Amino acid sequence: MGFLSKLVNKVTGGWAEVDMEVPPEVRRGSSMTITATVGVKSEPIEVERVTVQIQCLEPVPAIDTNLTDGITPPPNHRAVHTDHVHVETAGELPAGTTRTYSATFQLPADVPASDPKHTWMARTVVVMPGNDPDSGWEAFEVS
């Protein structure tokens, strides 16, 4: 692979494809298991860790101190619950391989359920030098 292709992968996180299966719904006070799949592309990768994350977000009021600056503020949310599981530690993942990981989370009984104000999401991240490949955030329901 040429230098330019390696640079593009480092900047874009294109070293691996990361997919994830999240249960469509989970009850508060119970456990949930997320299955993550990391498919390494044509070059081996050195990872610091592979982490599965969950979070519950709620909106907060936007406070714009300069209403005339023309800058649109980012989405205004705060995490009211976060958790993560490291499913792989530092090491090399060989080129052309696919690894599957499972992460189990215990949701406390007192966390918010999904509703118009509370959004639950999960993602898997391959932490490595450069831009980290990830699955993107996927929503799931908590009842």
Residues 9-33 have a mean pLDDT of 84
pLDDT band at residue 127 using 50, 70 and 90 as cut-offs: very high
pLDDT band at residue 142 using 50, 70 and 90 as cut-offs: very high
Please report the pLDDT score of residue 77 as a whole number.
81
- Tell me the two tokens of residue 37: 């799949």
Residue 66 has pLDDT above 70, yes or no: no
Residue 38 has pLDDT above 80, yes or no: yes
Dist. CA 54–CA 30, nearest whole Å: 14
Residue 4 has pLDDT above 50, yes or no: no
Domain ranges of the chain: 15-60+75-142
The owner of tokens 């299955």 is 35
Dist. CA 33–CA 26, nearest whole Å: 10
List the Cα angle 101/105/108 in 5-degree steps.
175
Q: Assign a CATH topology to domain 15-60+75-142.
A: Immunoglobulin-like (2.60.40)
92: CB partners within 8 A, 6+ apart: 44, 45, 46, 47
Residue 38 contacts residue 51 (beta carbons within 8 Å):
no
Residues 65-85 have a mean pLDDT of 71
Residues 14-18 have a mean pLDDT of 89
Please report the pLDDT score of residue 69 as a whole number.
54
Computed over every residue of the chain, the mean pLDDT equals 86
Task: Please give the backbone phi and psi of residue 11, each rounded to the nearest 5 degrees, phi first.
Answer: -80, -35
